[in-house]
Amino acid sequence: MTKQTLTLTLKDGTQLTGKAFGAFEETEGEVVFTTGMVGYPESLTDPSFKDQILVLTYPLVGNYGVPIEELDEHKMSKFFESLRIHVKGLIVEDYSEIYSHWNANKSLSDWLKEYGVPGITGIDTRALTQKLRDEGSQLGKIHYSENKPDNEFYDPNEVNLVAKVSVNEAHSYGDGDKHVAIIDTGIKTNILRSFLNRGCKITVFPWNESPFAYEKENDMEFDGYFFANGPGDPEQLDETVEIMKEALSQNKPVFGICLGNQIMGRAVGAKTYKLKYGHRGQNQPCIDLLTGKCYITSQNHGFAVDPKGLPKDWEVWFENANDGSVEGLRHKTKPFSSVQFHPEACPGPTDANHLFDDFIATL
């Protein structure tokens, strides 16, 4: 068995073979693409990419290596969005074996090997991306080139991925005057940093654990509630939806990002649906329908909220300028809001970073 090539086989039978890097292993997942020019360390560690085979559209990958893995005083990663890689595989056009960066201490290939994640280089990612755009995201397998894969494909959207990436028990960080309960459905580290850097105390809860029981047990009250990003189909998260409903019933500020936007939509009666190929990248234009201002945003999601099911006292806040899909929700009179994009960036632009300030100002 040669260690020179691996093959990506899509569910429709398409096969693409290239040179192997990273772990020389077989794997399977949903094949999706992201359009960012940089930011692969942040993307690979984003829990929202759990069990996906990621195609990077920018042709040159690996030339700045991987940052030193350091933890801060909260035992959070300083440079990554979680403590491990979450993608199942990586597809690139041109992997650079030579890297150079002041903060790099290993190659992308060596980093992938540490987590058992295979990579393939030499693939025409432009053609593959065009196929995924035209036909939609597909299930796929990375396998040894001489092997013929079977016709059974693992679909990560049929399982509760959030349960795999959420914390197992509640943890508190910081000591600020304002205390925010965070429901962890696969939260990115920079969201936590965004609250801590603004002087908030935060308590992070598992995806299915009520913060209201915690309030009673500790004879205290949170100032607001936050619902995080995360992977998979929001239809899998009935328990999180029930927590959102209870949070909204408190009439305290509630804010959500990405999956949190979909959970908020479901909690008020709207349905969610799967996008053809999702929004993944750092250049998605979103229009604030209240002001008319357009923001360039970082995104990573495969599902969206159908606005037809929104009650009369709710409205679409942001809209995607490319396809018109919902990018944010808000209550017309109460302090409830959410966005589908990532104002915390990492990677990507920080144009919408002020949304954290706006939420904290309501606490």
Helix (H) or strand (E) holding 224: strand 224-227
Q: Are 163 and 186 in contact (CB under 8 A)?
A: no
- Residue 283, C-beta contacts closer than 8 angstroms, at least 6 positions apart: 35, 36, 296, 348, 349
Q: Tell me the CA distances in angstroms from 216 to 175, 213, 220, 227, 239, one per residue in order.
A: 20, 5, 7, 20, 19
State how far the Cα of 363 lies from the Cα of 353, in Å rounded to an integer.
Answer: 17
Q: Are 255 and 224 in contact (CB under 8 A)?
A: yes
Active site residue 258: yes
Active site residue 294: no
DSSP 13: S
Pairing outcome for strands 314-320 and 326-331: antiparallel
Q: Hunting for tokens 């903060």 — which residue is that?
A: 103
Q: Are 36 and 58 in contact (CB under 8 A)?
A: yes
- Single out the catalytic residue among 86, 179, 301, 342: 342
State how far the Cα of 227 lies from the Cα of 187, in Å rounded to an integer.
Answer: 9
Residue 114: strand, helix, or coil: helix
State how far the Cα of 103 lies from the Cα of 124, in Å rounded to an integer.
Answer: 30
Active site residue 331: no
- Single out the catalytic residue among 42, 301, 344, 346: 344
Pairing outcome for strands 294-306 and 336-339: unpaired
* Cα 170 from chain centre: 21
Helix (H) or strand (E) holding 126: helix 125-135
- Single out the catalytic residue among 28, 209, 258, 319: 258
Active site residues: 258, 342, 344
